Amino acid sequence: MSDQRLRQRQREALLYGYQDRGLAFIVEQLRSGDSEGARRTLVEIIEQGLCPLSVKYFGQLFPGQILVGEGTDEQGSYWELYHVPLTIPPQAPSVYTVRLKKDRLGTSKQNPQGDLSRQEQWVAQVQKGTYGPYNPGCAPLHSGVAVALLQNQQHPVQSQRTRIAEVRNFLLSHYPSDWFSTMTRIAPYAAQSEEDTVVHDLHLALPSIIKADIKGSHGYLQEEGFDNFNAPVLGQSNRQVLHNAYNHVTGFPLHAWRYDDEPTTPSKERAVVLGRGVNGGRLIYADDFYGRALGWSYRAQHLSSGNQGNL
């Protein structure tokens, strides 16, 4: 074992020993009915770092708030976001653990901007395992993380505020600079007054599929039709929350482009792509063209039984 790894193990042992004593005290506080004291103790523990039990207790004592850890795997460094509320239609709302790579998919010294592909090529590469556990993420994932980052700016743990700001600044530095593919597709974009088929998590053997008329009464998106688009495509029904969240991580107001053009080819399948503002800041673009990808991995549970990384 290298000296550096040995010192890391020693630091972790000291931290976990401190946390074990603190977590035992939390159990005593909860048994005595002192939930406010337990929350204060947990905040002090998490200021020093995260461990699986502190993450678990946080989800119970601070419902609706997230935690952010860090780690490394074979693909490089990542953030791990715990207790992220997500809705991937037509599934019911759930709490997810979300891993976000600290660089774009396919980034290297020779390719600093990351790979550039059409959506079907991204799906094929993800299914081949080219990017390990990571994929470009479905549109509701991007939306849910944006909302969580916005709503957790005033986190009770100061060190967590710093990490949450780091994730937000990472997204803010990428979304405006390029187009980013997602694993969400409209297949097909239906004719007026007919239901569209929205498909999320295209890379999975059993993707999530929902039928919905996302166009509104005129056959294309106008203001009265935009709310129809939010829930099935972005997984969020509150328009103002979405506007604020996307503005928080992109600097742009939320706007669906190409869906609000008159659909001259209603049977065409279209990819949902996020990113670069055009003519004042359009964010959601629906067509098939080349895009980059952020690296996401997500699961509908608090913790896995496997490696938790360097929390």
- Cα separation of 96 and 145, whole Å? 10
Contact 89, 231 (CB under 8 A): yes
Within this chain, do residues 281 and 150 fall inside the same structural domain, yes or no?
Answer: yes
Report if residue 196 sits inside a domain.
yes
pLDDT at 4: 60
Q: What are phi and psi of 79, to 5 degrees?
A: -100, 145
Contact 234, 139 (CB under 8 A): yes
CA distances to 2, 3, 311 from 9, in Å: 11, 10, 13
Structural domain span for residue 1: 1-63
pLDDT at 284: 67
Within this chain, do residues 119 and 54 fall inside the same structural domain, yes or no?
Answer: no
Give the tokens for residue 84: 């992220």
Within this chain, do residues 198 and 265 fall inside the same structural domain, yes or no?
Answer: yes
pLDDT at 193: 64
pLDDT at 266: 56
Report if residue 123 sits inside a domain.
yes
pLDDT at 120: 92
Within this chain, do residues 131 and 41 fall inside the same structural domain, yes or no?
Answer: no
pLDDT at 309: 36
Within this chain, do residues 59 and 112 fall inside the same structural domain, yes or no?
Answer: no
Report if residue 199 sits inside a domain.
yes
- Cα separation of 18 and 45, whole Å? 8
Q: Where are the beta strands (DSSP E) in the chain?
A: 67-73, 76-86, 94-104, 179-186, 196-200, 208-212, 256-257, 270-275, 284-286, 294-299
pLDDT at 226: 65
Residue type, 293: A
Within this chain, do residues 53 and 149 fall inside the same structural domain, yes or no?
Answer: no
- Cα separation of 193 and 308, whole Å? 48
Within this chain, do residues 279 and 152 fall inside the same structural domain, yes or no?
Answer: yes
Within this chain, do residues 49 and 130 fall inside the same structural domain, yes or no?
Answer: no
The pLDDT tens digits along the chain (311 residues) read 555 654 444 454 445 555 667 777 788 888 888 889 889 888 988 988 888 888 988 999 999 999 999 999 999 999 999 999 999 999 999 999 999 999 999 998 899 899 999 999 999 999 999 999 999 999 999 999 999 999 999 999 999 999 999 999 999 999 888 889 999 998 766 666 678 889 999 999 999 999 988 876 666 655 545 677 889 999 998 888 988 998 899 887 777 766 555 555 555 678 888 876 555 445 666 666 788 999 999 998 644 333 333 34
Contact 246, 176 (CB under 8 A): no
- The alpha helices in 180-261, defined as continuous H runs, are 223-229, 239-250
Domain stop point among 31, 47, 63: 63
52-84 exposure pattern, b = at least 16 Cβ within 10 A, e = fewer = bbbbebbbebbeebbbbbbeeeebeebbbbbbb
The owner of tokens 């949902």 is: 272
Within this chain, do residues 229 and 282 fall inside the same structural domain, yes or no?
Answer: yes
Q: Count how many domains the chain has.
A: 2
pLDDT at 252: 79
CA distances to 80, 121, 228 from 135, in Å: 15, 12, 27
Report if residue 71 sits inside a domain.
no
